[in-house]
Chain A
Amino acid sequence: MDDLYREVILDHYKNPRNQGTLDPHDFSYEDENPLCGDKLRIDVRLDENKRVKEVAFTGRGCAISQASASMLTETIMGKTLDEVKQIGKDDILEMLGIELGPVRLKCALLSLKVLKAGAYGIDGQHYHDDDE
């Protein structure tokens, strides 16, 4: 049996961490994966050193996309914006601990795409998604 639905993934899906919205926030971004209708919004508050102080997400979608978002919010706590921008596809796959085909990869990476678009947007930059 493959371990796509590892206990930790099902746990984050059923009991998502940092779910909700933050108002006010330092940045917020929302996007969707039109192929499957997965939707995700991530709000972030930074401290005076531009480190992630609080983060919240809301969304709908499959277990992979929602667990990935939940796990990502835990991972980035305390990270600087630059560190957030450095997170890549491989980090997400390592975080999830599973191998994914091309279709499900989009589900897994939606949260990272949303987070980075928001992180780049705060400096007025445009985020180019290299994984597309």
Chain B
Amino acid sequence: MNVKHLDAARLRADFPILTREVKPGIPVVYLDSTATSQKPTQVLEAMDRYYRLSNANVHRGIHTLAEEATTLYEGGRERIQKFIHARSLKEIIFTRNATEAINLVAYSWGRANIKAGDSIVLTEMEHHSNLVPWQMLAAEKGASLNILPVTDEGELDLSSFDTFLRQSPKLVSFTYMSNVLGTINPVSEIAAQAHAAGALVLVDAAQAVPHLPVDVQTLGADFIVFSGHKMCGPTGIGVLWGRQTLLEAMPPFMGGGDMIKRVYLREFKPNELPYKFEAGTPAIAESVGLGAAVDYLSAIGMEAIHAHEQELIAYALERLEEVPGVKVYGPTAEKKGGVASFSLEGVHPHDVAQVLDRDGIAVRAGHHCAMPLHDRYQLPATTRASFYLYNTPDEVDKLIQGLYKVKKMFG
């Protein structure tokens, strides 16, 4: 199949923020999309239109505005369903973000299914959001955590997986794509092995759904989680997808309005899916915005976006390697997404980021919510440049020029 080529220079016109100057005469070079993506006009306008014309609370309202708001809110869910190829709308649960989606599974499924002595398999390259909820659950239940290590090259070392699987873990939870190394993990392969051992599989797809075609029918996961704001949508909305039979069997997460079918003074009957897990007034405008983001990404094509980022990361790695003292972490370009975390010898990442900021270049400096992974490489922090559909090779060149300035200042 021929992947159509994405015209980043043209797409940039859709993102108003990319035309601003961070200082007089210095335009922003936004290389921090792994933290959060920028938002196209189409998303901003959809949310603005909702608030100006249709704002009302959803469900149960009879009036015109409430009906419009409900239709628009559920429209976001329908778009997500099609985008990830879920069987049913009942499988699309809106949360605040990917973190809350993992916590939902840890509280609801975890507290009903994890007992003392059970084990859960995680990996060394997880974001804190896929470590801490399981640490909390394991401590509460007396369960244990087995951690798949990461190789020097930044890939998962699966040599201990068989040993872990012989302990019949209840869950294997891991990232589709590392937010630090960019590593794209062999999800289906790991999921198949986990299932053969009787474990369920949760995939943190926060860095995958915005950048790759994701099809839950072929992926092999039982749960996936992701955030709206990393895929051109607004903050405040994330998604849990789970197999319907699993979600049906899970107890509610938070209690309150909308998640109930019937309330008595001393008990309640939970609502049907997906509402069972959506207590209180949901993020309505955010669902509208996320739906518009899905339309935007779909029109470009996820294959085209992935191909564009592959070209950018290949070019960025090649240019970064030219800079003396730069060490990039993670695998080679074809095995990773558009993320380059690196160190520059003798210069702290804070100082790298601060000096780059003078030229409008926005990169992230720190542990990127993956302290154990940084411990693995004995690094307190790294500098991370990450790319999305609106980035261009010219911006990679600016990053490299900026790094030479950093070296000159601290050399």
> Could you list which residues of chain A lie within 8 angstroms of chain B, going by C-beta atoms?
1-2, 4-5, 10, 13-14, 35-39, 60-64, 104, 107
B358 touching A10, Cβ below 8 Å: no
Which B residues touch A60, using CB under 8 A? 348, 380
A104 to B366, CA, bound (A): 12
A37 touching B354, Cβ below 8 Å: no
In chain A, what residue has the closest Cβ to B355? A5
| In the complex with contacts A36-B381, A37-B374, A62-B348 CB distance below 8 A | yes
Which A residues touch B348, using CB under 8 A? 36, 38, 60-63
What's the minimum C-beta distance from B410 to chain A, rounded to whole angstroms? 7
Instruction: Show 21 A/B contacts (Cβ-Cβ < 8 Å), sorted by A.
Output: A1-B358, A4-B354, A10-B409, A10-B410, A35-B366, A36-B366, A36-B367, A37-B367, A37-B374, A38-B380, A60-B380, A61-B350, A62-B348, A62-B349, A62-B351, A63-B350, A63-B410, A64-B350, A64-B351, A104-B350, A104-B354
What's the minimum C-beta distance from A100 to chain B, rounded to whole angstroms? 10
What's the minimum C-beta distance from A33 to chain B, rounded to whole angstroms? 10
Residues of chain B in range 393-411 having any CB-CB distance to chain A below 8 Å: 409-410
A62 touching B350, Cβ below 8 Å: yes
What's the minimum C-beta distance from A50 to chain B, rounded to whole angstroms? 35
A64 to B353, CA, bound (A): 13
B358 touching A36, Cβ below 8 Å: no
B367 touching A5, Cβ below 8 Å: no
Residues of chain B in range 56-105 having any CB-CB distance to chain A below 8 Å: none
B365 within 8 A of A: yes
| Interface residues as binary, B342-362 with A (CB distance below 8 Å gives 1, 0 otherwise) | 000000111100110010000
| In the complex with contacts A2-B358, A36-B366, A37-B380, A107-B409 CB distance below 8 A | no
What's the minimum C-beta distance from B363 to chain A, rounded to whole angstroms? 14
What's the minimum C-beta distance from B367 to chain A, rounded to whole angstroms? 6
A63 to B348, CA, bound (A): 7
What's the minimum C-beta distance from A10 to chain B, rounded to whole angstroms? 7
What's the minimum C-beta distance from A71 to chain B, rounded to whole angstroms? 16
Which A residues touch B365, using CB under 8 A? 36
Which B residues touch A10, using CB under 8 A? 409-410
Which A residues touch B358, using CB under 8 A? 1-2
What's the minimum C-beta distance from A39 to chain B, rounded to whole angstroms? 7
Which A residues touch B409, using CB under 8 A? 5, 10
Among A2, A39, A63, A104, point to the contact of B380 (Cβ < 8 A): A39
| In the complex with contacts A5-B355, A60-B380, A36-B350 CB distance below 8 A | yes
A107 to B366, CA, bound (A): 12
A104 to B365, CA, bound (A): 12
Which B residues touch A13, using CB under 8 A? 410
What's the minimum C-beta distance from B12 to chain A, rounded to whole angstroms? 27
What's the minimum C-beta distance from A36 to chain B, rounded to whole angstroms? 6
What's the minimum C-beta distance from A121 to chain B, rounded to whole angstroms? 25
A35 to B358, CA, bound (A): 22
Q: A37-B367, A37-B380, A64-B351 are in contact. List 18 more A-B contacts (CB 8 A).
A: A4-B354, A10-B409, A10-B410, A36-B381, A37-B374, A37-B379, A38-B380, A39-B380, A60-B348, A60-B380, A61-B350, A62-B348, A62-B351, A63-B351, A63-B410, A64-B350, A104-B354, A107-B350
Which B residues touch A4, using CB under 8 A? 354
What's the minimum C-beta distance from A38 to chain B, rounded to whole angstroms? 7
Which A residues touch B380, using CB under 8 A? 36-39, 60-61
Which B residues touch A107, using CB under 8 A? 350
In chain B, what residue has the closest Cβ to A66? B348
Which A residues touch B367, using CB under 8 A? 36-37
Which A residues touch B379, using CB under 8 A? 37
A60 to B351, CA, bound (A): 13
Which B residues touch A63, using CB under 8 A? 348, 350-351, 410
A15 to B374, CA, bound (A): 27
A1 to B358, CA, bound (A): 8
A64 to B354, CA, bound (A): 11
A5 to B349, CA, bound (A): 14
